[in-house]
């Protein structure tokens, strides 16, 4: 199944669920025979047990690649910038290739926020997206310019989170 008109989604905000929402859309698309490609920015080798990576290896037409050295807290390192640059190049090739119906750029908003990826490069990527590709951008701190270009913008707002009580990230739930 090919999309006649692909849209651009942004999932942003400080609440849980941005990547989960993108994965939900991916699952729905896969159920209809679409091909899904996900590029994860920032996320990487520090967690080799991301549940979505394990699941994607078992699902036909679902590919996830990671371009990150781990979560950037406050100060990005050169390796973070290099990884994000390779990730953006890889994402652009995937979007333009005609092989994928849905392309998810997970944590791209954070990569822009931390200066790992140039905002104008992401803007150009959105503007040059082929008509039949659905594009999803996730991560906190989505820029106003990126949100303006998007068809859907959803902001996840944290009301309450177990992290506030000292519960750390749990396998299968947060990763």
106-121 tens-digit pLDDT:
999 999 999 999 999 9
Angle of helix 78-96 relative to helix 119-127, nearest 10 degrees, comes to: 10
Q: What is the pLDDT of residue 173?
A: 83
- Residue 150 pLDDT more than 60? yes
- Residue 27 pLDDT more than 90? yes
Instruction: Give me the numbers of helices (H) and strands (E) for the chain, helices first please.
Output: 6, 6
**Token pair of 150, please?**
């998007």
The three-class DSSP label of residue 3 is: coil
Q: How confident is the model at residue 168 (pLDDT cuts 50, 70, 90)?
A: confident
Q: What is the pLDDT of residue 35?
A: 98
Of 62-66, 103-107, 165-169, the poorest mean pLDDT is in: 165-169
What is the C-alpha to C-alpha distance for residues 155 and 85, in angstroms, rounded to an integer? 26
63-99 tens-digit pLDDT:
999 987 665 555 557 777 888 999 999 999 999 999 9
Question: Which residues of 42-151 form beta strands (DSSP E)?
Answer: 62-67, 102-106, 134-138
Cβ neighbors of 143 (< 8 A, separation 6 or more) are: 109, 112, 113, 119
What's the topology of domain 8-165?
A: Rossmann fold (3.40.50)
124-137 average pLDDT score: 98
What is the C-alpha to C-alpha distance for residues 131 and 14, in angstroms, rounded to an integer? 30
What is the C-alpha to C-alpha distance for residues 75 and 56, in angstroms, rounded to an integer? 31
Of 20-29, 80-89, 123-132, the poorest mean pLDDT is in: 80-89
Of 137, 132, 121, 112, give the one whose Cα is nearest residue 19.
137
Q: Is 148 exposed, middle or buried (0-12, 13-18, 19+ CB in 10 A)?
A: exposed
Domain parsing of the chain, residue ranges: 8-165
Of 75, 73, 74, 57, give the one whose Cα is nearest residue 65.
57
9-37 average pLDDT score: 97
């Amino acid at each position: 199944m090919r999309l006649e008109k692909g849209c651009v989604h942004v999932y942003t905000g400080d609440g849980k669920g941005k990547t989960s929402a993108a994965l939900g859309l991916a699952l729905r698309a896969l159920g209809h025979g679409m091909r899904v490609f996900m590029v994860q920015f920032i996320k990487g080798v520090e967690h080799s047990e991301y549940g979505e990576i394990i699941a994607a290896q078992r699902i036909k037409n679902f590919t996830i690649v990671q371009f990150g050295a781990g979560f950037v807290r406050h100060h990005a390192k050169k390796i973070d910038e290099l990884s994000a640059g390779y990730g953006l190049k890889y994402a652009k090739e995937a979007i333009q290739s005609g092989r994928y119906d849905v392309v998810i750029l997970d944590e791209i908003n954070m990569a822009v926020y931390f200066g790992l990826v140039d905002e104008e490069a992401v803007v150009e990527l959105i503007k040059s997206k082929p008509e039949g590709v659905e594009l999803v951008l996730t991560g906190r701190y989505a820029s106003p310019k990126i949100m303006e270009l998007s068809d859907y913008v959803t902001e996840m707002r944290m009301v309450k989170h177990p992290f506030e009580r000292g519960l750390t990230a749990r396998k299968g739930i947060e990763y």
